[in-house]
Structure 1
Amino acid sequence: MPRNPATTTRDALLAAAREEFAEHGIAGARVDRIAARAGVNKERIYGHFGNKEKLFDAVIKDALDEFAAVNTVLEDDPVAYVGEAFDRYREHPDLLRLLMWEALHHRSAALPDQSWRAERCGRKVRSLAARLGEEPSPDVGRAVLSLLGLAMMPLAMPQLAELLGAKMDTPESVAAMREHVMGFARAALEGRASASG
Protein backbone atom coordinates (compact mmCIF):
# COMPACT_ATOMS: atom_id res chain seq x y z
CA MET A 1 0.00 0.00 0.00
CA PRO A 2 1.53 3.39 -0.97
CA ARG A 3 2.37 5.82 1.80
CA ASN A 4 0.42 9.02 2.27
CA PRO A 5 2.47 11.85 0.67
CA ALA A 6 1.61 14.20 3.56
CA THR A 7 2.94 11.66 6.07
CA THR A 8 6.08 11.14 3.98
CA THR A 9 6.70 14.90 3.81
CA ARG A 10 6.06 15.30 7.53
CA ASP A 11 8.46 12.44 8.34
CA ALA A 12 11.12 13.91 6.04
CA LEU A 13 10.74 17.30 7.71
CA LEU A 14 11.00 15.78 11.19
CA ALA A 15 14.16 13.86 10.26
CA ALA A 16 15.77 16.92 8.67
CA ALA A 17 14.73 19.14 11.56
CA ARG A 18 16.14 16.71 14.09
CA GLU A 19 19.57 16.97 12.46
CA GLU A 20 19.37 20.74 12.15
CA PHE A 21 18.15 21.34 15.70
CA ALA A 22 20.69 18.92 17.18
CA GLU A 23 23.47 20.82 15.39
CA HIS A 24 22.28 24.40 15.88
CA GLY A 25 19.54 24.56 18.53
CA ILE A 26 16.31 26.48 18.10
CA ALA A 27 17.81 29.92 17.60
CA GLY A 28 20.54 28.76 15.22
CA ALA A 29 18.43 26.39 13.13
CA ARG A 30 17.32 27.70 9.77
CA VAL A 31 14.01 26.82 8.14
CA ASP A 32 15.55 26.97 4.66
CA ARG A 33 18.23 24.43 5.62
CA ILE A 34 15.62 22.10 7.12
CA ALA A 35 13.53 22.33 3.94
CA ALA A 36 16.60 21.70 1.75
CA ARG A 37 17.57 18.64 3.83
CA ALA A 38 14.01 17.33 3.53
CA GLY A 39 13.89 18.12 -0.19
CA VAL A 40 10.75 20.26 0.07
CA ASN A 41 9.73 23.90 -0.11
CA LYS A 42 10.05 25.67 3.25
CA GLU A 43 6.37 26.61 3.11
CA ARG A 44 5.69 22.94 3.85
CA ILE A 45 7.18 23.47 7.33
CA TYR A 46 4.63 26.18 8.08
CA GLY A 47 1.84 24.10 6.58
CA HIS A 48 2.65 21.04 8.69
CA PHE A 49 3.88 22.64 11.93
CA GLY A 50 2.99 26.34 11.97
CA ASN A 51 6.42 27.69 12.91
CA LYS A 52 9.98 26.69 13.76
CA GLU A 53 9.33 26.42 17.51
CA LYS A 54 6.38 24.07 16.98
CA LEU A 55 8.55 21.99 14.66
CA PHE A 56 11.18 21.78 17.41
CA ASP A 57 8.47 20.68 19.86
CA ALA A 58 7.42 17.88 17.47
CA VAL A 59 11.05 16.77 17.12
CA ILE A 60 11.48 16.71 20.91
CA LYS A 61 8.29 14.67 21.36
CA ASP A 62 9.53 12.08 18.86
CA ALA A 63 12.95 11.97 20.56
CA LEU A 64 11.34 11.45 23.98
CA ASP A 65 9.18 8.67 22.55
CA GLU A 66 12.35 6.96 21.36
CA PHE A 67 13.99 7.34 24.75
CA ALA A 68 10.92 5.78 26.36
CA ALA A 69 11.89 2.63 24.47
CA VAL A 70 14.67 2.01 27.03
CA ASN A 71 13.71 -1.49 28.03
CA THR A 72 14.43 -1.71 31.73
CA VAL A 73 11.82 -0.30 34.08
CA LEU A 74 13.24 1.52 37.09
CA GLU A 75 11.24 -0.77 39.36
CA ASP A 76 12.81 -3.86 37.80
CA ASP A 77 16.46 -2.80 37.95
CA PRO A 78 17.40 0.87 38.42
CA VAL A 79 21.09 0.12 37.88
CA ALA A 80 20.42 -1.56 34.52
CA TYR A 81 18.19 1.40 33.65
CA VAL A 82 21.16 3.73 34.11
CA GLY A 83 23.28 1.50 31.84
CA GLU A 84 20.60 1.41 29.17
CA ALA A 85 20.09 5.17 29.37
CA PHE A 86 23.87 5.64 28.97
CA ASP A 87 23.78 3.39 25.89
CA ARG A 88 20.83 5.25 24.42
CA TYR A 89 22.49 8.65 24.85
CA ARG A 90 25.78 7.33 23.43
CA GLU A 91 24.15 5.67 20.43
CA HIS A 92 21.91 8.68 19.76
CA PRO A 93 23.91 11.80 20.62
CA ASP A 94 21.33 13.92 18.84
CA LEU A 95 18.80 13.00 21.54
CA LEU A 96 21.05 14.34 24.27
CA ARG A 97 21.88 17.46 22.26
CA LEU A 98 18.17 18.14 21.63
CA LEU A 99 17.42 17.90 25.36
CA MET A 100 20.29 20.25 26.12
CA TRP A 101 19.15 22.75 23.49
CA GLU A 102 15.64 22.65 24.92
CA ALA A 103 17.03 23.35 28.39
CA LEU A 104 18.90 26.36 27.02
CA HIS A 105 15.83 27.69 25.23
CA HIS A 106 14.10 29.91 27.77
CA ARG A 107 10.33 29.79 27.85
CA SER A 108 7.98 31.59 30.14
CA ALA A 109 5.03 29.27 29.52
CA ALA A 110 4.62 25.58 30.27
CA LEU A 111 6.53 23.12 28.11
CA PRO A 112 4.69 21.74 25.10
CA ASP A 113 2.92 18.52 25.99
CA GLN A 114 3.47 19.37 29.66
CA SER A 115 0.85 16.94 30.97
CA TRP A 116 2.14 14.12 28.73
CA ARG A 117 5.69 14.74 29.96
CA ALA A 118 4.57 15.01 33.58
CA GLU A 119 2.80 11.66 33.31
CA ARG A 120 5.91 9.99 31.88
CA CYS A 121 8.12 11.46 34.57
CA GLY A 122 5.56 10.55 37.22
CA ARG A 123 5.69 6.91 36.05
CA LYS A 124 9.47 6.94 36.55
CA VAL A 125 9.08 8.33 40.07
CA ARG A 126 6.35 5.81 40.95
CA SER A 127 8.43 2.99 39.51
CA LEU A 128 11.55 3.83 41.51
CA ALA A 129 9.47 4.47 44.64
CA ALA A 130 7.98 0.98 44.31
CA ARG A 131 11.46 -0.50 43.93
CA LEU A 132 12.66 1.36 47.02
CA GLY A 133 9.55 0.45 49.03
CA GLU A 134 8.65 4.12 49.45
CA GLU A 135 5.84 6.41 48.49
CA PRO A 136 6.41 8.67 45.46
CA SER A 137 7.86 11.95 46.68
CA PRO A 138 10.05 14.87 45.61
CA ASP A 139 12.97 12.99 47.17
CA VAL A 140 12.37 10.00 44.89
CA GLY A 141 12.07 12.46 42.00
CA ARG A 142 15.51 13.81 42.88
CA ALA A 143 16.83 10.24 42.88
CA VAL A 144 15.43 9.62 39.36
CA LEU A 145 16.98 12.89 38.18
CA SER A 146 20.33 11.89 39.69
CA LEU A 147 20.22 8.45 38.04
CA LEU A 148 19.52 10.02 34.65
CA GLY A 149 22.26 12.57 35.32
CA LEU A 150 24.74 9.75 35.89
CA ALA A 151 23.90 8.32 32.48
CA MET A 152 23.98 11.69 30.77
CA MET A 153 26.84 13.68 32.23
CA PRO A 154 29.87 11.88 30.74
CA LEU A 155 28.33 12.21 27.28
CA ALA A 156 27.01 15.74 27.73
CA MET A 157 30.43 17.07 28.78
CA PRO A 158 33.04 15.17 26.74
CA GLN A 159 35.60 17.97 27.06
CA LEU A 160 35.35 17.84 30.86
CA ALA A 161 35.61 14.04 30.77
CA GLU A 162 38.81 14.35 28.74
CA LEU A 163 40.27 16.97 31.11
CA LEU A 164 39.55 14.63 34.01
CA GLY A 165 41.34 11.79 32.26
CA ALA A 166 38.12 9.92 31.53
CA LYS A 167 38.01 10.33 27.75
CA MET A 168 35.81 7.80 25.99
CA ASP A 169 37.69 7.22 22.76
CA THR A 170 37.93 3.42 22.68
CA PRO A 171 35.39 0.64 23.18
CA GLU A 172 37.20 -0.24 26.41
CA SER A 173 37.00 3.30 27.80
CA VAL A 174 33.29 3.52 26.91
CA ALA A 175 32.67 0.18 28.64
CA ALA A 176 34.64 1.36 31.69
CA MET A 177 32.55 4.55 31.92
CA ARG A 178 29.32 2.60 31.55
CA GLU A 179 30.40 0.24 34.32
CA HIS A 180 31.41 3.20 36.46
CA VAL A 181 28.08 5.03 36.20
CA MET A 182 26.21 1.80 36.92
CA GLY A 183 28.46 1.12 39.92
CA PHE A 184 27.89 4.66 41.16
CA ALA A 185 24.12 4.17 40.82
CA ARG A 186 24.33 0.83 42.64
CA ALA A 187 26.31 2.34 45.54
CA ALA A 188 23.97 5.31 45.81
CA LEU A 189 20.87 3.11 45.89
CA GLU A 190 22.43 0.72 48.40
CA GLY A 191 23.44 3.69 50.55
CA ARG A 192 19.91 5.04 50.34
CA ALA A 193 18.48 1.67 51.39
CA SER A 194 20.93 1.45 54.34
CA ALA A 195 20.10 4.99 55.46
CA SER A 196 16.36 4.31 55.44
CA GLY A 197 16.60 0.78 56.84
Structure 2
Amino acid sequence: MAYDAEDTRRRIFAAATAEFAEHGLAGARVDRIATAAKANKQAIYLYYGSKEKLFAAVLRAKLEEVRASVSIDPDAVAESVGQLFDWYQEHPELIRLLLWEALEAGDEPEESERERRDGFREKVHHLVDGGVGRDLPEDARVRAAQDLLFTIMGLIAWNFAVPRMVRVVLDEDTYQAAFARRRETVIEAARTLAGATGRLHSRVSE
Protein backbone atom coordinates (compact mmCIF):
# COMPACT_ATOMS: atom_id res chain seq x y z
CA MET A 1 0.00 0.00 0.00
CA ALA A 2 1.35 3.42 -0.93
CA TYR A 3 2.26 5.83 1.83
CA ASP A 4 -0.50 8.40 2.37
CA ALA A 5 1.12 11.55 3.72
CA GLU A 6 -2.14 13.44 4.19
CA ASP A 7 -3.70 10.58 6.12
CA THR A 8 -0.61 10.47 8.34
CA ARG A 9 -0.90 14.21 8.96
CA ARG A 10 -4.57 13.83 9.91
CA ARG A 11 -3.79 11.03 12.35
CA ILE A 12 -0.96 13.01 13.91
CA PHE A 13 -3.17 16.08 14.20
CA ALA A 14 -6.01 14.15 15.87
CA ALA A 15 -3.64 12.43 18.29
CA ALA A 16 -1.86 15.70 19.08
CA THR A 17 -5.15 17.49 19.76
CA ALA A 18 -6.13 14.87 22.33
CA GLU A 19 -2.65 14.78 23.89
CA PHE A 20 -2.30 18.54 24.23
CA ALA A 21 -5.85 18.97 25.52
CA GLU A 22 -5.19 16.46 28.29
CA HIS A 23 -1.57 17.26 29.19
CA GLY A 24 -0.80 20.74 27.87
CA LEU A 25 2.36 21.64 25.99
CA ALA A 26 4.85 20.85 28.74
CA GLY A 27 3.22 17.58 29.75
CA ALA A 28 2.56 16.27 26.25
CA ARG A 29 4.88 13.59 24.87
CA VAL A 30 5.75 13.21 21.22
CA ASP A 31 6.17 9.47 21.63
CA ARG A 32 2.58 9.15 22.92
CA ILE A 33 1.32 11.22 19.99
CA ALA A 34 3.25 8.99 17.57
CA THR A 35 1.87 5.83 19.16
CA ALA A 36 -1.72 7.09 19.12
CA ALA A 37 -1.33 8.26 15.51
CA LYS A 38 0.34 5.00 14.45
CA ALA A 39 3.15 7.11 13.01
CA ASN A 40 6.81 7.51 13.84
CA LYS A 41 8.30 10.46 15.71
CA GLN A 42 10.39 11.42 12.70
CA ALA A 43 7.22 12.08 10.71
CA ILE A 44 5.98 14.47 13.41
CA TYR A 45 9.22 16.46 13.36
CA LEU A 46 9.28 16.37 9.56
CA TYR A 47 5.77 17.77 9.20
CA TYR A 48 5.71 20.19 12.13
CA GLY A 49 9.30 20.87 13.17
CA SER A 50 8.87 20.70 16.96
CA LYS A 51 6.38 19.96 19.70
CA GLU A 52 5.86 23.69 20.21
CA LYS A 53 5.06 24.25 16.55
CA LEU A 54 2.70 21.27 16.57
CA PHE A 55 0.84 22.74 19.56
CA ALA A 56 0.58 26.09 17.77
CA ALA A 57 -0.69 24.39 14.62
CA VAL A 58 -3.34 22.47 16.56
CA LEU A 59 -4.58 25.56 18.39
CA ARG A 60 -4.61 27.64 15.20
CA ALA A 61 -6.62 24.98 13.39
CA LYS A 62 -9.17 24.63 16.20
CA LEU A 63 -9.67 28.40 16.30
CA GLU A 64 -10.15 28.44 12.56
CA GLU A 65 -12.62 25.58 12.87
CA VAL A 66 -14.87 27.50 15.26
CA ARG A 67 -14.49 30.68 13.20
CA ALA A 68 -15.60 28.87 10.06
CA SER A 69 -18.41 26.99 11.80
CA VAL A 70 -20.12 29.78 13.73
CA SER A 71 -20.20 33.56 13.44
CA ILE A 72 -22.00 36.16 15.54
CA ASP A 73 -24.85 37.52 13.45
CA PRO A 74 -25.47 41.14 14.50
CA ASP A 75 -29.16 40.70 13.61
CA ALA A 76 -29.50 37.53 15.68
CA VAL A 77 -26.90 37.67 18.43
CA ALA A 78 -28.78 35.42 20.84
CA GLU A 79 -29.33 32.69 18.24
CA SER A 80 -25.66 32.84 17.23
CA VAL A 81 -24.61 32.52 20.86
CA GLY A 82 -26.74 29.39 21.19
CA GLN A 83 -25.00 27.87 18.20
CA LEU A 84 -21.60 28.84 19.60
CA PHE A 85 -22.48 27.32 22.98
CA ASP A 86 -23.39 24.07 21.23
CA TRP A 87 -20.12 24.09 19.28
CA TYR A 88 -18.04 24.43 22.43
CA GLN A 89 -20.06 21.72 24.15
CA GLU A 90 -19.27 19.38 21.27
CA HIS A 91 -15.59 20.48 21.11
CA PRO A 92 -14.41 21.02 24.71
CA GLU A 93 -10.82 20.51 23.62
CA LEU A 94 -10.51 24.10 22.39
CA ILE A 95 -11.14 25.56 25.86
CA ARG A 96 -8.60 23.15 27.34
CA LEU A 97 -6.02 24.12 24.73
CA LEU A 98 -6.58 27.83 25.39
CA LEU A 99 -6.27 27.30 29.14
CA TRP A 100 -3.03 25.37 28.70
CA GLU A 101 -1.72 28.14 26.46
CA ALA A 102 -2.59 30.74 29.11
CA LEU A 103 -0.81 28.73 31.80
CA GLU A 104 2.31 27.87 29.83
CA ALA A 105 2.86 30.65 27.32
CA GLY A 106 5.34 33.43 28.02
CA ASP A 107 4.68 37.14 27.92
CA GLU A 108 6.16 37.62 24.47
CA PRO A 109 3.63 37.76 21.58
CA GLU A 110 3.60 34.60 19.48
CA GLU A 111 3.76 34.45 15.70
CA SER A 112 0.08 33.55 15.56
CA GLU A 113 -1.06 36.57 17.57
CA ARG A 114 -1.24 38.90 14.57
CA GLU A 115 -3.29 36.31 12.67
CA ARG A 116 -5.68 35.97 15.61
CA ARG A 117 -6.01 39.74 15.96
CA ASP A 118 -6.90 40.01 12.27
CA GLY A 119 -9.53 37.31 12.66
CA PHE A 120 -11.18 39.03 15.61
CA ARG A 121 -10.99 42.43 13.94
CA GLU A 122 -12.99 40.91 11.09
CA LYS A 123 -15.63 39.69 13.55
CA VAL A 124 -15.76 43.07 15.27
CA HIS A 125 -16.20 44.97 12.03
CA HIS A 126 -18.96 42.54 11.06
CA LEU A 127 -20.78 43.47 14.26
CA VAL A 128 -20.22 47.19 13.70
CA ASP A 129 -21.41 46.99 10.10
CA GLY A 130 -24.48 45.15 11.37
CA GLY A 131 -25.43 48.02 13.65
CA VAL A 132 -23.91 47.15 17.04
CA GLY A 133 -23.43 50.38 18.98
CA ARG A 134 -25.17 52.42 16.30
CA ASP A 135 -26.12 55.10 18.85
CA LEU A 136 -22.51 55.67 19.85
CA PRO A 137 -20.02 58.06 18.26
CA GLU A 138 -18.18 56.41 15.39
CA ASP A 139 -14.88 56.06 17.25
CA ALA A 140 -16.62 54.26 20.13
CA ARG A 141 -18.51 51.70 18.06
CA VAL A 142 -15.50 49.45 17.47
CA ARG A 143 -14.64 49.40 21.18
CA ALA A 144 -18.24 48.62 22.05
CA ALA A 145 -18.31 45.72 19.59
CA GLN A 146 -14.98 44.42 20.92
CA ASP A 147 -16.29 44.48 24.48
CA LEU A 148 -19.53 42.79 23.46
CA LEU A 149 -17.68 40.04 21.60
CA PHE A 150 -15.28 39.33 24.45
CA THR A 151 -18.03 39.38 27.05
CA ILE A 152 -20.04 36.88 25.03
CA MET A 153 -16.97 34.68 24.65
CA GLY A 154 -16.49 34.72 28.40
CA LEU A 155 -20.14 33.91 29.09
CA ILE A 156 -19.80 30.81 26.92
CA ALA A 157 -16.26 29.65 27.63
CA TRP A 158 -16.38 29.70 31.43
CA ASN A 159 -19.00 26.96 31.43
CA PHE A 160 -16.61 24.57 29.71
CA ALA A 161 -13.53 25.73 31.57
CA VAL A 162 -15.10 24.69 34.92
CA PRO A 163 -17.85 22.16 34.08
CA ARG A 164 -17.90 20.63 37.55
CA MET A 165 -18.50 24.06 39.10
CA VAL A 166 -21.42 24.59 36.74
CA ARG A 167 -23.10 21.44 38.04
CA VAL A 168 -22.28 22.22 41.69
CA VAL A 169 -23.31 25.89 41.68
CA LEU A 170 -26.54 25.18 39.81
CA ASP A 171 -27.17 22.24 42.19
CA GLU A 172 -28.00 19.87 39.34
CA ASP A 173 -27.53 16.11 39.45
CA THR A 174 -26.19 15.83 35.90
CA TYR A 175 -23.96 17.83 33.60
CA GLN A 176 -26.63 17.64 30.91
CA ALA A 177 -29.18 19.42 33.09
CA ALA A 178 -26.64 22.02 34.19
CA PHE A 179 -25.51 22.82 30.65
CA ALA A 180 -29.10 23.02 29.41
CA ARG A 181 -29.84 25.65 32.05
CA ARG A 182 -26.64 27.54 31.30
CA ARG A 183 -27.34 27.55 27.56
CA GLU A 184 -30.69 29.27 28.05
CA THR A 185 -29.25 31.73 30.56
CA VAL A 186 -26.31 32.63 28.32
CA ILE A 187 -28.61 33.17 25.34
CA GLU A 188 -30.85 35.52 27.32
CA ALA A 189 -27.85 37.37 28.75
CA ALA A 190 -26.42 37.83 25.25
CA ARG A 191 -29.76 39.13 24.00
CA THR A 192 -29.86 41.69 26.82
CA LEU A 193 -26.24 42.72 26.32
CA ALA A 194 -26.67 43.17 22.58
CA GLY A 195 -29.67 45.40 23.13
CA ALA A 196 -27.93 47.51 25.77
CA THR A 197 -24.46 47.76 24.21
CA GLY A 198 -24.69 51.46 23.44
CA ARG A 199 -25.99 52.41 26.89
CA LEU A 200 -23.49 50.22 28.72
CA HIS A 201 -20.51 51.51 26.79
CA SER A 202 -21.59 55.12 27.25
CA ARG A 203 -21.62 54.61 31.03
CA VAL A 204 -18.22 52.89 31.02
CA SER A 205 -16.72 55.75 28.99
CA GLU A 206 -18.05 58.47 31.31
TM-score by length of 1: 0.87
| Aligned position for 2:149 | 144
Structure 2 residues not aligned, in runs of 5+: none
**Which residue type is aligned with residue 188 of structure 2?**
G
Whole-angstrom distance in 1 between the partners of 2:109 and 2:2: 35
| Aligned position for 1:162 | 167
CA, structure 1 residues 153+170, in 2 after alignment: closer, same or farther (shift >3 Å)? closer
SS of residue paired to 1:89: helix
TM-score by length of 2: 0.84
Answer whether contact 1:89 1:95 (CA < 8 A) is retained. Answer: yes
Q: Any residues of structure 2 matched to 1:68-147 within 5 Å, and which?
A: 68-130=67-129, 131-132=131-132, 133=134, 135=138, 136-147=141-152
**Which residue type is aligned with residue 58 of structure 2?**
V
| Aligned position for 2:48 | 49
| 1:161-193 C-alpha deviation (Å, 9 max, x unpaired) | 233125482544432211100101111222224
Whole-angstrom distance in 2 between the partners of 1:52 and 1:127: 35
State, as a whole percentage, how many aligned pairs show the same letter: 36
State the 1:11 CA deviation: 1.4
Q: What CA RMSD, in Å, does the superposition of the two structures yield over aligned residues? A: 2.3
Structure 1 residues not aligned, in runs of 5+: none
Answer whether contact 1:32 1:42 (CA < 8 A) is retained. Answer: yes
CA, structure 1 residues 61+167, in 2 after alignment: closer, same or farther (shift >3 Å)? farther
Instruction: Give the total of aligned pairs.
Output: 195
Structure 1 runs (4+) deviating above 6 angstroms are none
Among 173, 188, 203, the residue aligned to 1:183: 188
